[in-house]
Structure formats: C-alpha cells, structure tokens
Amino acid sequence: MALSFSIVTCTWNSAAWLPASIDSVLMQDYPHVEIIYVDGGSTDGTLEQIRALPRPFRLLTGVTGGISRAMNAGIEAASGDVIAHLHSDDYYLSPDVLSTVAAQLEESGRKWLFGRTMRDIDGRLVPEDWVAPRFSPRRLLRGNFISHPATFVRRDLLQQAGGFDEALKYAMDYDLWLRLSQLAEPVQMDLPLAAFREHAGSLSTSNRLAAMEEDFRVRLSHAGSGPLGPLERLMHRLRHLVRRHRMQAALGK
C-alpha cells in the first residue's frame, strides 16, 4: 500500500505568508495527503484563508503553549504514515516533492528522510552556500545540518522518539533529530525540497543569540557520558565559544 502523508502547518497571524505554503501543498502530484493546520489564536484572516481551502483539511484552533506544543498537537491528530511539519512561512519548491520522498522512503525501507532547503529573502530564492556533511550521529552532534521543512518522519518513529520537547523554544527540532539519530538512520538527499522564508518575525532569524545558547544546551545534553564524555563536552564548549564570538561580532554586540 502506498505511503500516506500528514502535512502539519502551525499558524498564528500568518495571513501574509500562508498562501504560498498552502499553494505548495495543494500543487503536490502525490494523492495520499492529509492536511492539518494548528492555530494558536489568529485574528488577521489566517483562519479564513484555511477555511477557504478547496479540499478536505483538519483545523485545530486555540492551541496555546508555544510552537512545540502546536507541532505535537499536529502529530497527535495525524493519521498519515509519514509526518512533515511545514511552517506557515515555508513552502515546497516543486509539485513532486512528496512523490519523490515517498519513492525514496519505500525503496530504502528507512523511517525518515531529510533534504535541503533554499532561503526565500524578499521573494528571491537563495541556494545554500555550503555543503551538508554526510550524516552520522556524531557529525549531527557537532552541528545541526538538518532543515526542518525538508524533513519527513514516519509517524511510528516520531511516537517512539517522543515528539518535540515542549520546554524548548528554538532548538526543539535539533533535539528531536538527535533523538531520531539514535533510533534509525535517515535517507539523506542533496536535493532542495523546501524554501525557508527569512523575515524579521521568524524565530530563527530573530533572537539569534538566544537560539544559539539553547542549541548549545541541547547539544551538551546529548554529549557522551562514557570515559570520553568530559573531553567531548569540553570540545563542544570551546566550539560554542568560538561560534558565539563570531555571531556577536556579526551582530555588532
């Protein structure tokens, strides 16, 4: 039987960006797609846009408690074999994204997959200016190279991993990838699958220092506890100090 997808989109006053996200899901050429929206109390026309969809969807309203809680609510509501979280300001790059992912998962027999993204800066698509390392749990622990909107995970694996940590505000996806990396090896694709929109309101482009600090705390919590654990944690601390210094310099702080 063909794999089915649940696409979860969390919204909160997302009317300015949501149409592109919606259109990118509606244009998919893959037939087995469940669409789920989780709204945190929008008042700007977001709900009206969702309710105007020309095909069936699920809408969860009044979900408060932060983005991690909203994403977990989407997982709890999902019935598809594979779950993807496509935020309201992100979108898929082509109509064959889901069919491509389905083929890769079915052929490999693996339980999760990640591809690449492009940045949308004022409507201009900008390719990544670096090459992602080949996946291994150890490489992932050194730095997050898995992009959220281009990641697809089987529902049973997400449930096994425990979903997103609702105590985290920025690094909840990185924390989940690290837990998934201990359970199953993913399919790694070098193909751009989604666009990540950069704007002043996005969590990852605002409060960058706070995001970096939480990312470091997550990394340290996953560092080894064996004989080499203290040395490994020391190396993570030193890398973090260098990265923080570079970001502070870039931000002029």
78: left (phi over 0), alpha (psi -120 to 50) or beta: beta
> Is 176 domain-assigned?
yes
Q: Quickly list H helices, the chain.
A: 18-26, 46-51, 67-77, 97-108, 137-142, 155-161, 172-181, 208-222, 229-251
What's the pTM value of the predicted model, to 2 decimals? 0.89
pLDDT tens across the length of the chain (253 residues): 899 999 999 999 999 999 999 999 999 999 999 999 999 999 999 999 999 999 999 999 999 999 999 999 999 999 999 999 999 999 999 999 999 999 999 999 999 999 999 999 999 999 999 999 999 999 999 899 999 999 999 999 999 999 999 999 999 999 999 999 999 999 999 999 999 998 665 555 558 888 889 998 999 888 865 544 666 666 656 665 556 656 666 666 5
60 inside domain:
yes
CA 105 to chain centre: 18
Domain span at residue 46 reads 5-204
Considering the domain boundaries, does residue 241 fall inside one? Answer: no
Looking at the 3D structure of the chain, how many domains does it have? Answer: 1
Q: What is the CA radius of gyration of the chain?
A: 18
Note the pLDDT of residue 237: 62
Give the Cβ contact number of residue 139 at 10 Å: 13
| Cα 44 from Cα 14, distance rounded (Å) | 8
Query: Is position 101 within any domain?
Result: yes
Instruction: Establish if 197 belongs to a structural domain.
Output: yes
Report the C-alpha gap between 83 and 128 in whole angstroms. Answer: 24
The verdict on residue 239 lying in a domain is: no
Inside any domain, residue 221: no
CATH code, domain carrying 185? 3.90.550.10
Question: Is 219 domain-assigned?
Answer: no
- Tell me if 86 sits within 8 A of 7, measured CB to CB: yes
